[in-house]
Amino acid sequence: MTRAAPEPGPGPVRLGPGADLAGFRAAARRLVAAGIEPAAAVFVSGEAPALLGEAPAAGTLCCGEAPPLALPRAVAGLIPAVIPHRDPERYGLLYRLVWRVVRGERHLAEIASDPLVHRLALMRKAVARDLHKMHAFLRFRRAAGAGPRERFVAWFEPEHHILAEAAPFFVARFPSFDWSILTPDGSAHWDGAALRLGPPGRREDAPAADAFEAGWCGYYASTFNPARTNLAAMRAEMPKKYWRNLPETAAIPGLVRGSVTRVAAMIEREPAAPAKRVPARALAAMADREPGSLEALNAIIRRAEPLVPGATQAVLGEGPLGAAIAFVGEQPGDQEDRLGRPFVGPAGQVLMRAMAEAGIDRSASYLTNAVKHFKFEARGKRRIHQKPTAGEVAHYRWWLDREIALVAPRLVVALGATAALALTGRQVPITRARGPLALEGRPCRGFLTVHPSYLLRLPDDAKDEAYAAFVGDLRRAKALAAEPH
């Protein structure tokens, strides 16, 4: 019995060089319309040599238009992501995917375990990785030119046909000067108005160096951390194939060789805290002895840099030594920072009125804050108060302890939770602990109430009652200060 000869195929389908997305789409539509199975479809890209002589354009397959294919979104997105791959089988693999999908496997692209889908996914990842490397490792160099605009040229050797897809990234990043990207597969040129793709370039057509590179290499060397040198990680992130086109790589061997010595020097060097985090007691050590007067203590505070930047000056306590009552607030506000005096802003005005109603003479009282500098957030021209952290309160506690000891009041009134934390070293709930406050290790008594700024934040219908309770607290504090200790 004689076996019938197989039907002849449609002939090779020749596509353009590089990533010919439009050509593949048109060919796939015609192949599907003609019922050509993947095994019979042969794709030849423009950069590949012809098989057995010059391949036909696709014979009768190329004549006429075929209807568009209704492909799932996952497939329609996968095709342009894979076509830039340099593998000559990419078109055949993609057509096999299209054929299976139009023949009923609509969800094929979602089956990651399918061998065809898995291979195409790897190809897509390789193209995406190559795009990332081009964005990261392409370096422009200034080129000589007589035109009014600066012109720069870069040489790059991508693994895949990604130039057309990568070029818009550089248009968005460098729109203000003319540039060219030269690759072995093609070139891209930007003149400030239009992007043009051209023929392949040559390495020798790109400048070997320019004046900017010396500064860039110096910056790269200054950011090199010898303690984190990891050659395997460096090669993984910056493969050696790109090194000859990157100016900073000339410095890498020397930086690596010197890393051991630099790390040893870092270990031997004495650790030092940042200047603004130096504890207050270290500032006191600059003096000949422990400050024996309020004036000496204040001189240290004035020399200290704010723990948080922006404050105009340290706001010192105000009042007589031996005052019956010392009031401790949270920190200076905007007005206090500008004038250098405590409790002169809106909250201070509430406190002064309440003290007067409670029969407490301000001139006979001492007023200060737990934190000596104004912490704020700038919003336009306004400086909005920010609550200090527990660490910032602890930083200033050294000063507050000595200030209270030098003033020696009979009673210390903590205005708010921050003041209570500074005086006791622990968080104190105001609602439950409002009233007499134990100050362990101090010769004076303590009393806890709300901060007057709390009253300013209340709704109008609650302010009168809260203010009356605040005045009542101050009357109780005055009576407690008059009692024998």
**CA 396/CA 75 separation, integer angstroms:** 64
Q: How confident is the model at residue 57 (pLDDT cuts 50, 70, 90)?
A: very low
Beta-bridged to residue 142, according to DSSP, are 152
- The predicted-structure confidence for 322-364, as pLDDT tens digits, reads as follows 999 999 999 999 999 999 999 999 999 999 999 999 999 999 9
**CA 440/CA 274 separation, integer angstroms:** 32
SS3 390: helix
- The predicted-structure confidence for 169-217, as pLDDT tens digits, reads as follows 999 998 888 999 999 999 999 998 999 999 999 988 888 877 777 777 7
Q: How confident is the model at residue 147 (pLDDT cuts 50, 70, 90)?
A: low
Q: Are 370 and 330 in contact (CB under 8 A)?
A: yes
> Averaged over 443-465, what is the pLDDT?
93
**How many other C-beta atoms lie within 10 A of the C-beta of residue 54?**
10
Here the tokens at position 260 are 């051991």
In the prediction, which pLDDT does 440 show?
Answer: 84
- The predicted-structure confidence for 2-33, as pLDDT tens digits, reads as follows 444 444 456 788 898 889 999 999 999 999 99
> Averaged over 47-74, what is the pLDDT?
60
Q: Are 152 and 143 in contact (CB under 8 A)?
A: yes
Does 437 have pLDDT greater than 50? yes
More confident residue, 447 or 440: 447
What value, to the nearest 5°, has the Cα angle with vertex 128 and ends 124 and 187?
110
**CA 477/CA 436 separation, integer angstroms:** 8
To the question of pTM greater than 0.85 for the whole model, the response is: no
Q: How confident is the model at residue 303 (pLDDT cuts 50, 70, 90)?
A: confident
| Contacts for 289 with CB less than 8 Å, ≥ 6 apart | none
- The sign of the dihedral angle between the CA atoms of 243, 247, 250, 256 is negative
What value, to the nearest 5°, has the Cα angle with vertex 324 and ends 442 and 444?
10
Give the largest CA-CA distance in the chain: 128
Does 239 have pLDDT greater than 60? yes
In the prediction, which pLDDT does 51 show?
Answer: 40
In the prediction, which pLDDT does 467 show?
Answer: 96
**Average per-residue pLDDT for the chain:** 84
In the prediction, which pLDDT does 56 show?
Answer: 39
Query: Can you identify the CATH homologous superfamily of domain 292-482?
Result: Uracil-DNA glycosylase-like domain (3.40.470.10)
What are the contacts of 318-322 at 24+ separation with CB within 8 A?
A: 318/342, 318/366, 318/367, 318/368, 319/363, 319/364, 319/365, 319/366, 319/367, 319/368, 319/407, 320/363, 320/364, 320/366, 321/294, 321/406, 321/407, 321/408, 322/407, 322/408, 322/409
Q: Which of 209-218, 219-228, 406-415 has the highest mean pLDDT?
A: 406-415
In the prediction, which pLDDT does 1 show?
Answer: 43
**CA 435/CA 474 separation, integer angstroms:** 10
Locate the domains of the chain by residue range: 13-132, 138-205, 212-268, 292-482
Does 99 have pLDDT greater than 80? yes
Beta-bridged to residue 182, according to DSSP, are 155, 187
Does 291 have pLDDT greater than 60? yes
